[in-house]
Structure 1
Amino acid sequence: MTGPTRSPAAGSAHVIADDAEALAVAEELAAEFRAGAAGRDAARKLPHAEVERLSASGLLGVTVPAGHGGAEVRAETLAEVFRLLATGDPSLAQIPQSHFVYVNVLRRQGTPGQQAFFFREVLAGRRFGNAQSEAGTRHVQDIHTRLTPAPDGSFLLSGVKHYSTGALFAHWIPVLARAEDDALHVAYVPRDAPGLAVVDDWDGMGQRTTASGTVKLDRVRVPADRVVPHHLTFRGPQLHGAVAQLLHTAIDAGIAAAALAEAAEFVRTRSRPWFESGHETAAEDPLLIQRFGELDIRLRAAEALLATAARAVDAAAERLTDDTAAAASVAVAAAKVFAGTTAVETGDALFELAGTRSALDGLNLHRFWRDARTHTLHDPARWKVQHIGRYLLNGTLPPRHGLL
């Protein structure tokens, strides 16, 4: 890598050894993050300390290849890490989603030098953000941000990005941009680069503390060896979209699990029985028991589909072909459709189960529905259903793009 530029300082990070340790660390962090999640959401208190804790734990380095000193965990493990984190705080779980996506970009298309440099950064606890989506364009893949060649062999990067989850907390911001020939690239830009500004203007009703704001780039100079040819990813069978979508699916499954657990605790400890039930406690009401059973079945199905999809991704990674990549993408699409509807339904059902008191704003129980409803808008489930149907009925392989 050229140039002495370093990312901002980060504390020393633990290096996780294997899948089992990754899961144990995620479970511990989920419990820590859960304790303050409602308060952070209510006050929109950005989780700077919690994100530093996430970095120090070593979880951000678990997909670094073993040859570079990482644990190189399975997709099934990574999905469970995200599901666990989302049961504690869905906003915190979403912040590193793009981090892992752009580690994968380096794994797929990075040069040996780029991989050596950036994987050291990741293992040291440094974070990747996200600057990909743009507002006001024709569609989500209509990218206007440009990499313009400079006389010294570097590039100048200009554009405006929205929904930049993780950028405010990042040490490096991967920027999706097009070169002069319109080919898609990712430029890895230091958070403190001259000409780069991150604006904390996210005001979504849910996922309030993701800081998914705006990144502005004004002739930001980028060395050539910090640019990765992302367009090559989609010229053959790939799992880029499947992995990215798998992590979103895990977040939805985690939100659903957290909402159902909160509803059960509320009914056990704070709800009064309906007078017609004839029981002393709300938890003995057979109609409530029935509804909890129905929701638990949906949650179990969502979690099973998530695990099945993750295993399909792992299987495809071992023998990547058009057919195995398609099977993985379809499995993830099915899991995401189901987990999304389950998260929204469970967040809504919490109030039906817990009763009038649960609607008090001070309890902030509506955060589960708000988080689920906001997060599931990331990309439309209806198109996933279309691709699943085409694959089943006509054997049509799903398209190669980053959203499936």
Structure 2
Amino acid sequence: MSATVIRTGDQAVAAARDLAARLAEGASARDLDRRLPHAELDALSEAGIFGLTVPARFGGADVPVTALAEVFRLIAAADPSIGQIPHSHFVFLEALRLRGTEAQQARFFAEALAGRRFANAQSERSGRTITDDATTLTPDGAGGFVLDGEKFYATGSLFAHWLVVRAVLPHEAPTPSGALRKAVAYIPADAPGVTIEDDWDALGQRTTGSGTVRLARVAVPADAVVPYTEIFDVPTAYGSFAQVLHAALDAGIARAALTEAVRQVARARPWFESGADRAAEDPLLVQQAGELEITVRAAEALLREAAEAVDAARTAPDETTTVHASVTTAVAKVATARACVEASSALFELAGTRGALAGLNLSRYWRDARTHTLHDPSRWKVQHIGRHLLDGAAPPRHGLL
């Protein structure tokens, strides 16, 4: 694989804009047929998208989060499934930046610069909550580890060169709270003992490859293991970095749905009571379109504000900057989630009855919005925003804020 090495944030955004124009052309057909975007992901790799956050001292551009969020927004507006696939790639490169050794960083950042893709194997369906892991990483007696377990929601795993697996360390002393310590293992996706199943069948985000990963006695060398629990021992922007990219995905879906609504209005017939010659002259439809533009544009502005806050926290992480980044990102995440669900639903009202025709596949905007916004509940973000506003309470450090 030959990958371009992008040098600036502006170059990254320009590359994403060019890719988005091409990705949008086949997005509806990929959704309808559930055609997995292998070639499209290779195009992103070749364009240098997967190396964007590699630090300059390892040969990358380390683009600011403001640019990275815009890259995500543009690609998600073209195809939300493809937009979500790189998310975990960047999050676990961030974990590597925060907790990896110099040798680990040199090795895996080089892989990212070469266009190779990392996918998550984090969540499990068997635990009481999404934070409960049964997957274990145990010493093999020869200086390495053995990995056993089963993961689900492993977005991007079908397209990955590397899997990043979160696992508990049962042989280590627990945390002061009694929780088992965790680490992440960076393993080849085709390593012996790894099985990746194409069993993702959600109503939306249909081509993200977010199915099951099974791990049976997978050998893991010690130099492929990075501490995970320790990320949250000190103030970092790890959680807000991950969340602002999710917000960018929602903002992209919201803008795409509204853009599609405008196209459909141009083809729609006016309601007879309006007296208008065109649907775009119906005053009630005009009012609804204007309200939607305000909602979507406000969400986009909050996304930019959050990305700036995350940039500041990554540059100078302390209690003040990281709390500000978390709260500001939570605001953006709630706003973008609301915007994409609202815009993708109102799309049908603006399009009229013909918008429900199966051949148009307009439902994909709502299905993608509804599926992605279930990732983590907005209601808890609103709680943390309110507590910070009223009492100055710092949000918890757990990777989802």
Shared fold by TM > 0.5? yes
Aligned to 2:175: none
TM-score (norm 2): 0.97
Distance 1:319 1:70 in 2: 20
Task: Kindly indicate whether residue 373 of structure 2 is the aligned counterpart of residue 376 of structure 1.
Answer: yes
Picking from 254, 257, 260, the partner of 2:258 is 260
Aligned counterparts of 2:236 and 2:314: Cα–Cα separation in 1: 9
Instruction: Name the TM-score, length of structure 1 as normaliser.
Output: 0.96
| Structure 1 CA distance for aligned equivalents of residues 373 and 328 of structure 2 | 17
Give per-residue Cα distances to partners, 1:318-350, cap 9 Å, x unaligned: 221111100100000010011101100111000
State yes or no: 1:333 paired with 2:323. Answer: no
- Mapped partners of 1:188, 1:315: distance in 2: 28
Report whether the alignment pairs 1:348 with 2:320: no
Q: Equivalent residues in 2 for 1:3-402 (5 A)?
A: 11-180=1-170, 181=172, 182-268=180-266, 270-402=267-399
Q: Structure 1, residues 356-383: CA drift from partner, whole Å, max 9, x if none?
A: 0000111100100000000000011111
SS at match of 1:13: coil
Superimposed CA distance per residue, residues 37-63 of structure 1 (whole angstroms, 9 cap, x where no aligned partner) = 000001100001000001100011010
Cα distance in 2, alignment partners of residues 39 and 307 from structure 1? 31
Inter-partner Cα distance in structure 2 for 1:293 and 1:62: 36
Aligned Cα root-mean-square deviation (Å): 0.7
For 1:321 and 1:361, the matched residues in 2 are separated by 51
SS of match in other structure, 2:26: helix
CA shift, 1:238, in A, is 1.1
**Which of 350-359 and 277-286 deviates more?**
277-286
CA distance in 1, matches of 2:385, 2:28: 36
Structure 1 position 136, deviation (Å) = 1.8
Q: Which deviations, in whole Å up to 9, do the C-alpha atoms of 1:185-211 show, x marking residues without a partner?
A: 000010110000000100000000101
Structure 2: distance between partners of 1:258 and 1:17: 28
Which amino acid is 1:146 matched to?
Answer: T
Distance 1:295 1:147 in 2: 48
**Per-residue deviation, residues 152-172 of structure 1 (Å, max 9, x unmatched):** 111000000000001110000
SS of 1:129's partner is strand
Which shifted more, 186-195 or 282-291? 282-291
Q: Which amino acid aligns with 2:274?
A: S
SS in 2 for 1:396: coil
Matched-pair contact (CA < 8 Å) for 2:309–2:324: yes
| Offset, 1:277 | 1.7
The CA distance in 2 between the partners of 1:63 and 1:40, in whole Å, is 28
1:122-165 deviation per Cα after TM superposition (whole angstroms, max 9, x unaligned): 00000001100000211111111100101111100000000000
Alpha-carbon displacement from aligned partner over 1:9-28 (angstroms, at most 9, x marks no partner): xx110000101100000111
State the one-letter code of the partner of 1:204: A
Moved over 2 A (4+): none
The residue type paired with residue 194 of structure 1 is: P
CA distance in 1, matches of 2:82, 2:356: 24
Q: Distance in 2 between matches of 1:47 and 1:283?
A: 36
How far apart, CA to CA, are the structure 2 residues paired with 1:198 and 1:332? Answer: 32
State the number of aligned residues: 393
Q: Deviation digits for residues 79-106 of structure 1, max 9, x if unmatched?
A: 1110000110000000000000011011
CA distance in 2, matches of 1:277, 1:28: 40
- Code of the residue aligned with 2:138 in structure 1: it is T
Equivalent in the alignment of 2:177: none
Once the 2 structures are TM-superposed, how far is the Cα of residue 280 of structure 1 from its aligned partner? 1.6
**Secondary structure, aligned partner of 2:187:** strand
For structure 1, list consecutive stretches of 5 or more residues without a partner in the other structure: 1-10
Which residue type is aligned with residue 344 of structure 1?
V
Alpha-carbon separation, structure 2, partners of 1:374 and 1:338: 16
Q: Distance in 2 between matches of 1:318 and 1:65?
A: 12
